Amino acid sequence: MSRATGAVINLSALRHNLQRVRELAPRARIMAVVKANAYGHGIAQVASALSAADAFAVACLEEALEIRHAGLVHPIVLLEGVFNVAELEEAARNGCELVVHDARQLALLEDARIQHNLSVWLKINSGMHRLGFPPSQARDLWERLGNAHAVRNPVRLMTHLASADEISNPRTRLQLGTFAAAMAGIQAERSIANSAGILAWPDSHADWVRPGILLYGVSPFTGRNGAQEGLIPAMTMGTTLISVQRVSKGEAVGYGGAWVAPEDMHIGIAAIGYGDGYPRHAPNGTPVLVNGARAWLVGRVSMDMIAVDLRGLPHAQVGDAVVLWGPELPVEEIARAAGTIPYELLCGVTQRVKFSLVDESTTPARSMASAKG
C-alpha cells in the first residue's frame, strides 16, 4: 500500500475565489498570480481552472512556459522581467508581457531588434523599495519605453503595496498618493492592488488587480481566514494514522523526549512530516483533524511522522483520515501556531506529496476521504 499523504486541490474552489475577486473589484481586470507553482497548488492545473482570468502573472520565464505548455493563450506577465537577449526573444516568441524595473532592462529593450515586439509594464517604486524606478522618472521612462523598437504600445504602469495587509498602517495611503503623483499627465492603464489591496483598499483597484493568496482561499490578514473573506480554501493537506500507541504516564514521545505523557493515554502516529512540507517548528498543541474531530500535535515533528494526542477520540484507529489543513481547519490557524505565514506552508508542500484534483462544491476534506477510499 502506498503512502497516504496527499494534497487535494478543489478546482471549483479556485473558480469560486476568482469570482469573489470580480465581486470585490468589478471594474478592474484580473491578473491571476500563479507564481511559485501557483502557491504550491500546481501551476498548470490552477491556470487551467482560472481560465476566466484576464491574464496571469508569474515570477519568471520558466513559469510562463509551463502555462503555455498547458495550452493557455492568455497574456502572461513576467513580474521580474527578463535579464538577457535570449530570454527577451523567448518571451516575445511566447507572447509574454514584461515588467521593466531596472535600467539594464530598459536598455535591453531599446537596443533589441527582435521579430516580435512585446507589451511592457513600467514598475514604479512607490515606497516598498524592492523593485522599480523612482516616481520622479516615471514620465521620462514611460516615453522612452513607448519609443523603443521592441515595445508594443501602449505602455502600462504598476507598483506594489508593502503594507496593505495592515489596515491601520498609513504607509498604503502614502504609496497610493506617491503613485498617483507619478502618473500625473500619463494616460495609461495601471495596476496597484495585491490581495490585501483588493479587500481593504478600493482606491487601489485601478485598471488591473493582481490577486494571489485570495485565489487559493486564504486571507492576507493576520487573525482572519479565507471563509471570513467569502473564500473557499483550495487545498486540503491530509494523510492517515499508521499506528495507535498506548503510552503510560511519564513516558516521553518522539525525538529528544520533548513531550511527556501526563497520564496513561493513546497517541496516533500520522504519516506526514517536514519531508512533506509540514512545519518542523509546529509546537505541541497545534491542531489537526482526525476523522473530522480536533486533536493536538505532541512531540517534535519528524521527517515522515507526527504524533497526535488521541484523548477524547477513543475510537481512533489505523487508517483513519487526518487533515493538516483545509476548509475545516484553516491553514491560517496552522501558520499562526507554527509562527509562520500561510504562504510558506502552501508553497512548501514537497514533491513526494501526491496531488489529486476534485471539481465539485463539496469540501476537499470530504473528497479526500472518497478519493483515497
* Cα separation, 363 vs 155, whole angstroms: 42
Percentage helix, strand, coil, to 5, in the chain?
Answer: 35, 25, 45
Q: What b/e sequence results for 79-99 when a residue is b if at least 16 CB atoms lie within 10 Å of its CB, and e otherwise? A: bbbbeeeebbbbbbeeebbbb
Q: What count of residues does the chain have?
A: 373
35 flagged as catalytic = yes
Please, how many CA atoms are within 13 Å of residue 232, restricted to the half-sphere of its CB?
20
Contacts of 184 (CB under 8 A, 6+ apart): none
Contacts of 247 (CB under 8 A, 6+ apart): 253, 261, 264, 265, 266, 267
For residues 109 and 150, the answer to whether their CB atoms sit within 8 Å is: yes
**Which CB contacts under 8 angstroms, 24+ apart, belong to 65-72?**
65/90, 65/94, 67/34, 67/43, 68/94, 68/95, 69/44, 70/44, 72/47, 72/48
* Cα separation, 118 vs 116, whole angstroms: 7
- Name the burial class of residue 146, with classes exposed (0-12), middle (13-18) and buried (19+) by CB atoms within 10 angstroms of its CB: middle
Distance in Å from the first CA to the final CA of the chain: 12
Residue with cell 473530522: 292
Residue with cell 527577451: 88
Catalytic, out of 123, 255, 274, 372 = 255
216 flagged as catalytic = no
Catalytic, out of 35, 123, 278, 343 = 35
Catalytic residue numbers read 35, 255
